[in-house]
Amino acid sequence: MSERTKDVRLRWPLPAHDYWSTPFAESLLQHLNLSPGASILDIASGHGIPAFYLAEQVGPTGRVLAIDLSGRQVESARAIQGAQLPWLRFECLDMRALPQHLPCFDRITGNLSVMFFRPNRFEAVQGLVEHLKPGGQLVLTFPSLGTFDSLWRRIDQEMAVRGLLAERRRLEAYLTERPSGEEVRRWLDKLHFSRIVVAEYPLEVATGAGQAFLHHPLLRGGFLDDAYECFEDQGLADEVMTWISEDVESFTPLIAQRCVMSGWKR
């Protein structure tokens, strides 16, 4: 590795302070084959993890198109980028409905992306593959089925004690809909990919009780909101979740499953 490459890498490392996106991005990079000059489509790019890192690795002879449906996220990433890494472009696009004129890429990546494919997840992956060059690699990460199972069991238990049948059915439907490692492997098999790898890496998420749990930066705005959506009565939801928040010892440690799906287009 040259001294210049070392210097470049130090400018845009994966941020150590991001305890959610960075661990998933690390697992993505563990399976991604990168080389200078490669073209990459990075979907669900958010605020740029790992798009900035990818752009450094492919260098000025490569190109990275990072897309996200959130205009706010795209503007935030552009502000961070400024005039740097001109071969990296952030655009507001729906990864489930990519324009036909979009070119094909050597690599398609997506950190924490698969959960945004619903309701037609396989069709979304199939659409992505249309923009992958023959011999190209697809690598996506997501929290797979099994993530935070101890929490879901505790919520279900509380719903059962309180006789909340409709809420339990909604929770069950939510959990059943989440993809597993086995399911995404079937997707890649169905798409006739080669060198398929599906791997899971446990990630513990620490939390305190009470408000520390209810307003946890990694849980609220995501997983906890999904639990709240199982209730029609949000007052009842607040009551149940507040009760559960005082009983964190019954469902900790909280373990997320970082799932990586990787394959090569024939």
Going from N- to C-terminal start, the domains of the chain cover 3-144+179-204+256-264, 149-174+210-246
pLDDT at 220: 85
Structure confidence at residue 222 (pLDDT): 82
The model's pLDDT over 46-77, given as tens digits with 9 standing for 90+, comes to: 999 999 999 999 999 999 999 999 999 999 99
Residue 37 is predicted with a pLDDT of 98
End-to-end CA distance of the chain: 31
Query: In terms of DSSP bridges, do strands 194-205 and 254-264 run parallel, antiparallel, or are they unpaired?
Result: antiparallel
Mean pLDDT across the chain: 93
pLDDT attached to residue 8? 43
What is the reported pLDDT for 118? 83
Residues 111, 44: contact at Cβ < 8 Å? yes
Average pLDDT over residues 161-172: 97
7 pLDDT more than 80: no
Quick one: pLDDT band at residue 3, thresholds 50, 70, 90? very low
10 pLDDT exceeds 80?
no
User: Which CATH topology does 3-144+179-204+256-264 take?
Assistant: Rossmann fold (3.40.50)
pLDDT digits (tens, 9 = 90+) for 228-266: 999 999 999 999 999 999 999 999 999 999 999 999 999
CB 218 within 8 A of CB 20: yes
